[in-house]
Amino acid sequence: MPEAPPDEGPALHVEDVDVVYGRALSALRSVSLTVPHGGVVTLLGANGAGKTTLLRAVSGTLRLHRGAITAGRIRYGGTVLDGRDPVAAVRAGVVQVPEGRRVFAGLTVDENLRSGGLGLGRRAPAQVREARERVFSLFPRLAERTHQAAGLLSGGEQQMLAIGRALMAAPRLLLLDEPSLGLAPQMVYRIAEVVREINAQGTAVLLVEQNAGMALSLADHAHVLEVGEVRLAGPADELARTDAVRRLYLGEETGPETSSGTGRGAA
């Protein structure tokens, strides 16, 4: 159950954002989107469309890739996030789970989870315990392996750990970058369930996915990015019915003239 009605509490506003890498390569042009409090929004697009770039712009890690926001605003509630460092995003309650899981392989599961709270400084032990219990109730398998090195976990378990690590910072908005990447269908289904559950607990989600079927089933709103610009936007169920999305991202044939070769490969 959501803790607050969707129109109360902070929302993420990305307004007309331009991002440039290395002062020359334009990666995003005038991109706008909104993630309401407690909502789920998904961002679809081919490789190189700028999905990860948008998440970097929100989480403040563009600088690590020689990128910069050259125009526009990013706000979360009352906090301005553009031009700030990742700590500002984490403190504001916006935490990103990076693409490819990126758990700390040489650290134990327990240390990985503790690292999720590093951005918040000293916290009351009760808060930390509460966050841990939430993670362990979502991912009971992690509770059995707290002393195991994270690098020895399976791909699905690593994805759970990456999400759990981010949840340790008690985010109000979770940025998920392709959580289903490289996972078995069974595990993709499990991750989708977890995202639904996290959202039901009151955390908003901005979901970047290649698996458009999964993403559109989870999201309220969807945006389609193409070469750095928003091409389509709207309620997820409406977007799922449009021909372009069905053809390009859901791999369905929409007419006799469409060749089946343009299916999933584009997504």
Partner 1 sequence: MTGFLDNVLTGLALGAVYALVALGFVTIFKASGVLNFAHGSLLLLGGYLTAILHDDLGFAGALAVAVLVTAAVAGAMDRLLLQRGEQDPRTAHVQTIVTIGVDIVLVTDLARRIGGDLLSLGDPWGDAVTSLGPLTVADSRLAAIAVSALAIAAAFALFRFTPWGLSLRAAAEDAEAAALMGVRLTRIRTVAWCLAGGLAALAAVFLAAFPAPGLERTTGQIALKAFPAAILGGMASPAGALAGSLLIGLTEALVAGYQTELHVLGEGFGDVAPYAVMVLVLLVRPTGLFAAKGATRV
Q: The tokens of 152 are what?
A: 């020895």
Angle separating helix axes 155-167 and 125-138, nearest 10 degrees:
150
Task: Sort residue 79 into left (φ over 0), alpha (ψ -120 to 50) or beta.
Answer: beta
Q: Least distance in Å: CB of 61 to partner 1?
A: 6
Interaction between residue 118 and partner 1 (CB under 8 A): yes
Interaction between residue 53 and partner 1 (CB under 8 A): no
Interaction between residue 111 and partner 1 (CB under 8 A): yes
Mark out the alpha helices in the chain (DSSP H runs): 51-59, 86-92, 109-115, 125-138, 140-143, 155-167, 185-200, 212-218, 236-241, 243-248
By beta-carbon proximity to partner 1, the closer residue of 4 and 118 is: 118
Among 9, 93, 116, 156, binds partner 1 (CB under 8 A): 116
**Range in contact with partner 1 (rule: CB under 8 A) among 3-11, 110-118, 194-202, 233-241:** 110-118
Residue for token digits 């134990």?
Answer: 108
**Range in contact with partner 1 (rule: CB under 8 A) among 35-43, 96-104, 212-220, 238-246:** 96-104
Say how many CA atoms lie within 13 Å of 81 toward its Cβ.
30
Interaction between residue 165 and partner 1 (CB under 8 A): yes
Among 2, 155, 202, 251, binds partner 1 (CB under 8 A): 155
State how far the alpha carbon of 179 is from the alpha carbons of 63, 100, 124, 137, 196, in Å. 23, 8, 30, 19, 13
By beta-carbon proximity to partner 1, the closer residue of 100 and 185 is: 100
Interaction between residue 124 and partner 1 (CB under 8 A): no
Closest to 69 in 3D by CA, of 52, 81, 87: 81
Residue ranges binding partner 1 (CB under 8 A): 59, 61, 63-64, 66, 85-87, 89-91, 95-98, 100-107, 111-112, 114-120, 149, 151-152, 155, 158, 165-166, 169, 182
